[in-house]
Every structure is written in C-alpha cells, then in structure tokens.
Amino acid sequence: MSQEFKAIQILPFTGAEKQQLIKLADDARKSYAIAFKLSSVPDPKWAEMFMINWHKEYGGGTLPRIKGNAVYVNSAIHNLQNALNALKLVTAETNDRFGAVVGKKRIEAAEAHRLKGESKRAAEEAMTNALDKLQF
C-alpha cells in the first residue's frame, strides 16, 4: 500500500473472450461462471474490502470471487448486464474507500517520517552541544 493507488477498472471482453463464452454456452436458462478481467491484480486488502462492500450491497447470496486479475461471477445469460453493473458499482465504491485508506496511510507515514527527522536533528544537536561542553 505504500505505492500510489491506481483505481481498478473492469475491462471489456476481447473478441477472443467473447468467442470463448459463446462456445461454452449450451443452455440459455442456466447460470455461467463469467470471468471479468480487472485492469490490475488487486491488493489483498482491496479484494477484502470489495467482498465486504459486495456483501453490504447485495447480501450473502452468490458472492463473486477474485482470483489474480479477474473477478468471477455466476450469472444467467439474461442477467449479464445486471451482474456487470453490480460489479462496476462495487468496484467504484471499493476504489473510493481503498483510495481514501491509502491516502490516509501515506499522510500518516509522511508525518511519522517528518517527526523522526525532527527527533534525529534534535538528538544530533543535543549530542553536539554535550560534546562541545566536555572538558578534557
């Protein structure tokens, strides 16, 4: 979390991904595990926050699963747009909340670094004064 946080996005399907999904379709009434690619592999804390946000928004039914740079969701074909909309909503909420946490931690780290520097300078000054006053 020490680096700059870049918001995670859900990427559109490539032509090859669409073709693969079409090939796998065999019953319009059944539910399919659909992998939506993410713009990057999420930080484990982001993934945890995503799951918490999903549960708050949609309850404990079928939860999406994050693996690598993809989020998997079970959906019927006729409900794909709703599933994508839900993923986009929770992803945006998670980006906002996670970004705020990262920003706060960055500010806290900068302040701790500043205080440590001040403490070191004060200690160096005190040591210099003490050494200068020594009488040999």
What range defines the domain where residue 59 resides?
15-96
- Lookup: tokens for 38: 């993410």
**Distance, CA of 74 to CA of 82 (rounded, Å):** 11
Give strand pairing partners of 70: 37, 67
pTM score: 0.72
Residues 6+ apart with CB under 8 A from 2: 106, 109
% of the chain residues with pLDDT over 90: 62
- Domain membership of residue 118 (yes or no) is no
Give strand pairing partners of 116: none
% of the chain residues with pLDDT over 70: 98
- Domain membership of residue 35 (yes or no) is yes
- Domain membership of residue 109 (yes or no) is no
What pLDDT, in 10s, does the model give residues 81-130? 999 999 999 999 999 999 989 877 777 777 777 888 888 888 888 888 88
- Domain membership of residue 68 (yes or no) is yes
- Domain membership of residue 81 (yes or no) is yes
Q: What share of the chain is helix, strand, coil (3-state, %, to 5)?
A: 60, 15, 25
- Domain membership of residue 69 (yes or no) is yes
Any idea what the CATH number is for the domain that residue 55 is in?
3.30.70
Question: How many domains does the chain contain in total?
Answer: 1
For 65-68, the CB contacts below 8 A with 24+ separation are 66/38, 66/42, 68/41
What pLDDT, in 10s, does the model give residues 23-66? 999 998 899 999 999 999 999 999 999 999 999 999 877 789 99
Q: Are 122 and 130 in contact (CB under 8 A)?
A: no
Q: Which of 75, 14, 77, 6 is nearest to 41 (CA)?
A: 6
